[in-house]
A and B are shown apart, each in its own frame.
Chain A
Amino acid sequence: MIETYLRQSQNTGKTFFDELAAPGGVVREHWKKLALAYDELGIEKMEQRSREISQELRDNGVTYNIYSDPEGINRPWKLDPVPMVFSQQEWESIERGLTQRAELLNLVLSDIYGERKLIKEGFIPFEMVFTHKGFLRQADKIKIPGKFQLIQYSADLVRSPLGKMWVLHDRTDAPSGAGYTLENRAAMTRVFPDLIRENQVRKISSYYQALKNTLTKLALQNKENPRVVLLSPGTANETYFEHAYLASSLGFTLAFGQDLTVSDGFVWLKTLRGLEKVDVIVRRVDDIFCDPLEFRGDSHLGVVGLMEAVRQKKVTIINPLGCRILENPGLMAFLPRLSKHLLNEELILPSVATWWCGHEKEKKYVLDNLPFLIIRSIYRSNENLPYIGSELSRKQIDDLRNEINTRPYLYVAQEVVSFSTTPSLTGSNLEACNAIFRSYLVADVEKQQYNVMPGGLSRSFPTKGEFIISNQSGGISKDTWVLGPSPESQAKPVLNQPILRQVKNVLPSRTGESLFWLGRYLDRAIINVRMMRIVLKIYNERDDEIHPESNQTLVILLKSLSALTGTLPGFTSPDQIKLRQPESELLSLAVETGRPGTLAQSLQSFLANGHAVRDRLSLDTWRILDSISEEFELMKANGSDLRKIYHNLDQFIIKLMAFIGLNNDNMTRASSWRLLNIGRFIESAINTCTILLAALSNNVKPDVEKQLMELVLMCNESLITYRYLYRSTLQLPGVLNLLLVNEDNPKSVAFLIAKIDEHLNHLPGNKRDDGLSPAHKKLLEALTMIRLCDVNKLVGAARVNDLHKKELTHFLQHLITLLGQASTIIFESYFSPTQSQYSFVKSNNALPEL
């Protein structure tokens, strides 16, 4: 395998530097062990390992999202089994270079938001800073105590054709990928434990320890027991997976903008217990989205008043707002001089050759060479994509030239670099692909130096020489191996680690709300599946055509399905069109996602709520969620085939029950578990009543009623219990007794209500001095109704002309109303009803009338 790779790399005739193959077709020294191991494994086993890696990542739920693509949610993360490898010797120099660059950028940042001496003295052109949208005037003169202002720093590095590492981008606002890096390493360790050991691959955990330590130490107020939250833009964000993953592995609370509020100048987390003060926010929300009051008024991802809380030194934000100024690629042209001026050192890591157009000479050079360069806006955004000179038409070149002439300071040009190739397993081949490496640094406030992760996130790309890359453009990730023994200081176990007090476990209200709905949709999906299975079973047993008069059982079941799913009129429509031809409605009830009440919609909402609380769920629970998600895709693909869908339904039951089982097994009996169960039980109790109302409150022929009773019990998973308890033929009073009254039956409505009441008692804020809370009152009323009822009387002696059993009907209707009211009260007392956020620019039309 390696032999072929070496031969191919000899024959390309291009000037790429290859990470593995040295000129002359030999393997580079630091790759030798690996190359040998790959040869021993052979290509088939490599492919096998690659599949194991994919499985491992899938099992761990490692995903990313693509914004513009509706199908782009939860794409599986891809990892190449072949890592990017750095020798010990080379890494030492890269590490020095990265540390130096971080220190330099830190000084530049402090100056830009401080005295701005570098601008006054001409080391940094003033237009380059003052026209950059990342220069936040609102953040001027705000400092974190101590020398570090730039806390987290990442650089994207590539290797030039001559073998030197270059910096392609600096990432200073909210660099992403450290979570994926951790997952990559975990998967590689599972699949290649031997290779990692034999090659002495350095561990990356020290970085995460330093990160956690620093973030905790940066609290300004509550220094003994600070609360750190990770602010995420939400579940649709590209890298949401790692927000949840990092938060749970570092022990921070995952929060969205709506979970936080500013009051009395402090930032608070809205929790089930009330407001909890936040000391440090590590943000994954872009700078200008963080506070709609002071920055973008249309942002719903931020926290109103956050900037003022920062100014008041009530909260620390990492990275501080304003750091994006350092992502300005124009700065790259000035770093060598700045390094000499500020550090009295030569810049160790060069940047890609960069010309800032704000200076006449450079602008002229750029305009003369447009077709050979890459032109970037100094401000990176989705609207400002780089121009690749060689791909522009003559007209586009002219437009660009005009634009650069009008606003020269907004543009930089960079050399087109062809960066190094590295072996990558593509199909059944080891192929040379271009690679880029992202490093991670964090300021270690205790040691007063930057901590460089000995590793990072590498990505490789099938198209050689491609300059603009992101996960969105179809690359594949690589683990990054730094070889060699750990430096002395890191090898020692860390002693005298201060014992951290356990941070009080809090549940943000929004998370609580998601858990409540997770429970409701879970049981809604289950009852949907069960009911649909029964309907399909009876439907398949029918004769060719459905005659509403003769197929009374099926008709009532179909109508019950419409009632249960809340998709009325549906099968209850007087025209009976759907009743006679139920197939398309049944399909719609299974797979139509946009329609409230369908199975697809319930599952979708279940998954969305699960996704939103994934930091609260165990790894195995994620796996079940992912497998439900896969089954869901399969069902949608079976869209028009009821027989195949029937099979999916069976699978759903197993998987949904596994989800319940696992949560019962491993969720601590905290508020989160209770809210999940309150949601489930309310849903379940209402559904049981609804089915009884729809299927068993009609006066029908005895044989039809008998069949319906059997099916209702099946739907409720209570048929066996009934037979065990009553050992007799099915009778309505017995059925009602079992499903409503019998508190030993965990499926009975009375049992469920008693459980809801119990869970509610354990939630914070439920103890009152003035008697029962409103929710308890409703529940007690419902429970008492059931306990006092006489089932024989409810069933009553049917009068000849009655279509319905009147008493039973009223009884069930009243019960459903009470449960609905209890649910609303619980919801409103724990989760603030959604209020829209309005931005207003007042007095804007207060203009003079002269």
Chain B
Amino acid sequence: MKYKITHITRYEYQLPASLCHNLVYQVPVSQSFQQVEKVDYHINPEPHFLLTREDFFNNKFIYFSIEEFHRNLSVEIKSEIKVDEPVWINAIPGNTMPWESVVSWLRSTNADNNIRQFYLESDHVVFIPGIQEYALMSFTPGRPVMEAMLDLNARIFNDFDFTPGFTDVTTKLEEVFLHRKGVCQDFAHFALACLRSIGLAARYVSGYIETLPPPGKPKLFGSDASHAWIALYIPETGWTEFDATNNLLVNDRHIRTAIGRDFADVVPLKGIVYSGAGQRMFVNVDVSRLEETV
């Protein structure tokens, strides 16, 4: 599948800001099952200093600074990306390794530290009381790892309400678990905490998902948003992606922008601004399918 993605973030400051420095994690890179064919970015006002870099997890990010008075800031990223059906779609969940074997393989030094680092706690993924018990209800003794994961995915989907506005970046995982409410980010963190608490390696994926308009209605530009899900390491299929928000095994409708231990590693746009007052933010995301030319 081929997509055209437009992600616009606009900031309005109440008073002019004299200086800002920013990091942008919205630049998709080619990887397994995803080829970036085109990516353009446009920042207004024109940054004084800008460069793109690769981080510890091989994500691409943009660093830029604006060193003159400005009242607005907009960051617009446009990309065209071809997404292929991932290998795990053809895996038979019941035939994958028992999850305990994956855990003991991870504990051995045979496993790459680049994989093992994802079974450790991180800022947003904490082993809160009860989390292991929740996980173990899906990860029953000897159960094939992928089958158990699909079960966990479905349970999170059923047990938790998608409630925008209930949480924000500072909400603790305990709150999400207690009230069983949140958004995709929270569900991803919760799933990661479940998996890591029993010793599995799992990482946070940020990106976009293609949405379809309600039946009979045209799709509105900008009605999409950024999205988050997780990838679990399964030795047979590698990093295998699951979307608890939609109870999906990720196929070719998810487009990846960055991976990390959790949200903190891949904040789409963060910055420090020097200004006399607060600011307002507007975000527009559009994911549209392009006709594939043969």
Binding site for B on A (CB under 8 A): 116, 119-120, 122, 126-127, 130-131, 137-138, 140, 261-265, 292-294, 297, 304-305, 308, 311, 406-407, 835-850
Contacts and interface: CB of A to CB of B under 8 A. Distances in A.
Interface in B192-240: 209, 211, 223-228
5 contacts: A120-B109, A127-B120, A838-B273, A843-B281, A848-B224
B35 interface: no
B165 to A, nearest CB: 8
Contact of A294 (B23, B120, B273, B285): B23
Contacts of B177: none
A308 B109 CA distance: 34
B72 interface: no
> Which of A131, A137, A264, A842 has the largest number of chain B CB atoms within 10 A?
A842
B147 to A, nearest CB: 25
Given A293-B23, A305-B21, A842 B184 contact: no
B55 A843 contact: no
Contacts of A119: 113
A175 to B, nearest CB: 27
Given A138-B56, A264-B49, A848-B226, A838 B183 contact: no
A261 B269 contact: no
Nearest 7 A-B pairs (CB), nearest first?
A842-B269, A137-B56, A846-B283, A847-B183, A843-B268, A848-B225, A835-B274
Contacts of A293: 21-23, 270-272
B276 interface: yes
B229 to A, nearest CB: 10
Contacts of A263: 48-49, 65, 67
Contacts of A122: 109
Nearest to B186: A847
B276 A848 contact: no
Contacts of B285: 846
Contacts of B116: 126, 130
Given A293-B271, A836-B276, A838-B273, A847 B109 contact: no
Contacts of A297: 270, 272
A131 B120 CA distance: 7
A127 B267 CA distance: 24
B63 interface: yes
A844 B267 contact: yes
B251 interface: no
A137 B109 CA distance: 21
B275 interface: yes
Contacts of B162: 850
B226 A847 contact: yes
A120 B113 contact: yes
A260 to B, nearest CB: 12
Contacts of B48: 263-264
A836 B275 contact: yes
B279 interface: yes
B279 A838 contact: yes
Nearest to A121: B109
Nearest to B227: A848
B79 interface: no
Contacts of A304: 19, 21, 272
Given A119-B113, A122-B109, A843-B9, A848 B184 contact: yes
A850 B272 contact: no
A850 B117 CA distance: 31
Nearest to A848: B225
A841 B169 contact: yes
B54 to A, nearest CB: 10
A840 B184 contact: no
B121 interface: yes
A845 B186 CA distance: 12
Nearest to B122: A131
Contacts of B53: 311
A66 B99 CA distance: 52
A841 B120 contact: no
A849 B116 CA distance: 33
Interface centre among B53, B55, B120, B127 (most CB of A within 10 A): B120
B278 interface: yes
B55 to A, nearest CB: 7
Nearest to B117: A130
A847 B270 contact: no
A292 B274 CA distance: 12
A311 B49 CA distance: 14
B21 A840 contact: no
Contacts of A406: 127
Given A293-B23, A835-B18, A845-B165, 12 more contacts: A130-B113, A137-B56, A138-B55, A304-B19, A305-B65, A836-B274, A838-B273, A839-B271, A841-B269, A844-B267, A847-B228, A848-B183
Contacts of B109: 120, 122
A256 to B, nearest CB: 15
Contacts of B117: 126, 130
B67 to A, nearest CB: 6
A262 B275 contact: no
Interface string B95-128: 0000000000000010001001100110000010
A849 B109 CA distance: 42
A850 B184 CA distance: 10
Contacts of B18: 835
A131 B67 CA distance: 36
B283 A843 contact: yes
Given A293-B272, A842-B269, A850 B9 contact: no
Contacts of B211: 848, 850
A840 B271 contact: yes
A847 B275 CA distance: 27
A120 B17 CA distance: 47
A384 to B, nearest CB: 15
A846 B184 contact: no
A138 B117 CA distance: 15
B274 A849 contact: no
Nearest to B111: A126
Contacts of B121: 131, 407
A838 B225 contact: no
Contact of A844 (B169, B246, B278): B169
Contact of B268 (A127, A265, A842): A842
B185 interface: yes
A846 B207 CA distance: 11
B34 interface: no
A297 B165 CA distance: 23
A835 B269 contact: no
A400 to B, nearest CB: 16
B225 A846 contact: yes
A843 B269 contact: yes
Contacts of A407: 121, 127
A262 B272 contact: no
A279 to B, nearest CB: 19
Interface string B245-289: 110000000000000000000011111111110110101010000
A116 B49 contact: no
Given A138-B56, A835-B275, A840-B273, A130 B226 contact: no
A847 B184 contact: yes
Contact of A842 (B120, B164, B281): B281
Contacts of A835: 17-18, 274-276
A90 to B, nearest CB: 41
Contacts of A127: 120
B120 A847 contact: no
A289 to B, nearest CB: 13
B175 interface: no
Contact of A116 (B113, B209, B270): B113
A126 B114 CA distance: 10
A262 B18 CA distance: 13
Contacts of B228: 847
Nearest to B284: A846
Contact of B272 (A120, A311, A839, A843): A839
Nearest to A847: B183
A848 B245 contact: yes
B33 interface: no
